[in-house]
């Protein structure tokens, strides 16, 4: 059959069926991705608008030529090949845009506004050994990496918070100052002040029968869920992208302080997680980067992703400042492991 003759009807039907199937599969992929981003990653605002607009134009591009009428068998074959590569291109394009926007936002992809329903705070007074003790109680609700919901009271005595702050402020800043020694000073002091957290985490582990990695993820996600705050040693100037707490000595809250006020930046979180995980006998470390001005946790546990070696052991990176950052994940903007250095390790 020559090219100027009417194309084979069965071949034309196959092309339309093939083109439609490819478009349907791609549409399902894109819609499922948007659903995941909205309900699991929980993006909102501008990011969600960009992703939705991108998805709309990609889907429109896929369906645009489904009903075209080829004039020859050659055009039918060309259409099949064209539809295949066009669909692949559209899916790759969507994935690339998604990846670029994700990396640009880094650990800020999740909603910048804390869901107020996740945390409620109250002061509880109890009588212990004939004395009244005031407790700060933050009722936390969060999801782990698998989307499972958890609820727990972050409870700590007010006088423990006072002791924690006093200890933090007592650390002398000298020429021999190192962040590792400072973190250890706070961790060692606050470890016995967090007994209620240990008990509550243990209860969840026993009730839900979590294995060792799941339990580590439970603790990690509980801290990732907390709204990010700048903690500055200088006054806040109003230009910060996140809520800010100023005039805090050395720009960090100690573990007991952070568990009470739930206001923490990167190293406020890594030190608290270091204490919590070390308590349950996990091999953890704190890594800092002068290049990135950032702090992350490292954990020696079977996993996948980025890690750094120390004493022949793999410590997988844990980004603590945003939700859904799984063990082994580092945002692209801070992903060069050569810029990360161990400052504190609990099992040498």
Q: Which fold has domain 157-345?
A: C8orf32 fold (3.10.620)
Q: What is the pLDDT of residues 239-279, one digit of tens each?
A: 888 899 999 999 999 999 999 999 999 999 999 999 999 99
Q: What are phi and psi of 14, to 5 degrees?
A: -60, -40
Q: What is the pLDDT of residues 15-66, one digit of tens each?
A: 567 666 766 776 777 677 666 666 555 555 565 666 676 666 666 666 665 5
pLDDT bin (cut points 50, 70, 90) of residue 114 is: very low
Query: For the chain, what are the domain ranges?
Result: 9-108, 157-345
Q: Which pTM value belongs to this model? A: 0.69
């Amino acid at each position: 059959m020559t090219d100027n003759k009417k194309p084979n009807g069965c071949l034309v039907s196959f092309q339309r069926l093939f083109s439609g199937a490819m478009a349907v599969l791609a549409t399902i992929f894109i819609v499922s991705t948007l659903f995941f981003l909205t309900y699991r990653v929980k993006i909102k605002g501008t990011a969600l608008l960009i992703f939705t607009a991108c998805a709309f134009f990609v889907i429109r591009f896929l369906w645009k030529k489904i009903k075209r009428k080829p004039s020859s068998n050659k055009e039918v074959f060309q259409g099949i090949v064209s539809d295949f590569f066009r669909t692949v291109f559209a899916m790759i394009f969507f994935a690339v845009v998604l990846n670029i926007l994700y990396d640009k936002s880094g650990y800020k992809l999740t909603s910048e506004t804390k869901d107020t329903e996740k945390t409620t705070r109250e002061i509880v007074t109890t009588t212990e050994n004939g004395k009244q003790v005031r407790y700060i109680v933050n009722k936390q609700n969060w999801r782990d990496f698998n989307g499972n919901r958890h609820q727990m009271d972050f409870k700590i005595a007010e006088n423990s918070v006072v002791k924690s702050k006093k200890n933090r402020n007592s650390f002398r800043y000298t020429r021999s100052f190192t962040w590792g020694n400072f973190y250890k000073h706070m961790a060692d002091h606050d470890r016995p002040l967090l007994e209620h957290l240990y008990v509550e985490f243990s209860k969840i582990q026993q009730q839900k029968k979590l294995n060792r990695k799941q339990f580590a993820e439970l603790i990690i996600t509980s801290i990732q869920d907390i709204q990010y705050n700048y903690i500055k040693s200088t006054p806040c100037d109003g230009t910060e992208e996140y809520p800010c707490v100023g005039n805090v000595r050395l720009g960090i809250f100690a573990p007991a302080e952070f568990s009470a006020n739930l206001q923490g930046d990167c190293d406020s979180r890594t030190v608290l997680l270091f204490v919590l995980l070390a308590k349950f006998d996990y091999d953890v470390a704190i890594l800092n980067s002068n290049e990135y001005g950032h702090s992350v946790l490292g954990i020696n546990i079977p996993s996948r992703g980025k890690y750094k070696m120390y004493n022949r052991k793999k410590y997988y990176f844990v980004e603590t400042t945003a939700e859904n950052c799984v063990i082994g994940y580092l945002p692209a903007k801070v992903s060069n492991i050569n810029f990360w250095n161990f400052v504190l390790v609990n099992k040498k």
